[in-house]
Chains A and B, each alone.
Chain A
Amino acid sequence: MLLVTCPHCGARPEIEFRYGGEAHIARPADPSALDDRQWAEFLYFRSNPKGVYAERWNHAHGCGRWFNALRDTASDAFLATYPAGQQRPDLGGGR
């Protein structure tokens, strides 16, 4: 069983969690200033690395909170989890 460490609840079974896609994607401050290409990139384009990936998770069947995690997409190992709003820990990878 894969354990995910919720920043609020500690190590919990994976089935309590829901996945939320890539983390640290800021909504453009002024969407009307973007052209279609840039808007499509914000909406749909993700980095998809082989290696360390920052992603959002929701402890849906627990405390209900969203948080961020660094996961190695090759080994599926969680390297770190941290509350939403915090800086990404410097563990390599990402953009």
Chain B
Amino acid sequence: MAEQAARRTPILAPSAARPEAAISIAPMVPAARFALRLPEAAAKAIGSAAGFRLDMAINRSAAARDGRLAARLGPDEWLLHGPETASEAIARDVEAALAGRHFALVDIGHRNVAIAVAGAHARAVINGGCPLDLDDDAFPPGSATRTLLGKAEIVLLRPDEAPVFRIECWRSFAPYVLGLLEEVGREFAGA
């Protein structure tokens, strides 16, 4: 496996989400993330790899053991997510599970920054820059998709029933994304 690059300074200071607040916009702690590309037929055949489920519908995510999560972003693309300390273990396990198949596994843990948006007005704040329908009917728990927030490309996840949305964006976009969310959030701060 490639050597782990030294992590650069976090671009956003992590803070704790407050789901009980009207709106809570909190950068999350660093995490392990991988972009997995694998032919659709292979994913269907093996079903899961290293505990990550791969055969869910497109734009759905599935939680796995130890705080891991797999999100299917396209027919042949998955975002694998886990605690930062599990980075090397995930890479090793997935490579072992897919040995002999054509696949690409890229560590994007340092490329992405996550921001948790929670609270009663979370949908309205995200919709301040994202045109997707975030109603429960259109974006139910377990949804995950790449989309746009303002001028930045993001991956938007809603891992479970809790009305907490996780926004993943590129590191260099993070100050812009956080600034945009906070700007929209001011509208709801006292509500």
Classify chain B's interface size: 10 to 19
B13 to chain A, nearest CB (A): 28
Contacts across chains A and B counted by CB atoms under 8 Å: 37
* Inter-chain contacts of A63 with B (CB < 8 A): 58-59, 73-75, 77, 146
- The answer for the CA separation of A8 and B57 in the assembled complex, in Å, is 9
The DSSP consensus for interface residues of chain A is loop
- The answer for the CA separation of A12 and B148 in the assembled complex, in Å, is 11
Q: Does A15 contact B (CB under 8 A)?
A: yes
A20 to chain B, nearest CB (A): 17
Q: Do residues B153 and A64 form an inter-chain contact, with CB atoms below 8 A? A: no
Q: Do residues B74 and A61 form an inter-chain contact, with CB atoms below 8 A? A: no
Using A8-B58, A9-B58 as known contacts, say yes or no to A16 and B147 having CB atoms under 8 A apart: yes
* Inter-chain contacts of A61 with B (CB < 8 A): 146-148, 153
Q: Does A94 contact B (CB under 8 A)?
A: no
4 new A-B contacts, CB < 8 A, other than A63-B59, A65-B74, are A10-B59, A12-B147, A62-B146, A63-B58
Residues of B within 8 A of A (CB): 58-59, 73-75, 77, 131-132, 145-148, 153
Residues of A within 8 A of B (CB): 1, 8-10, 12-13, 15-16, 61-65
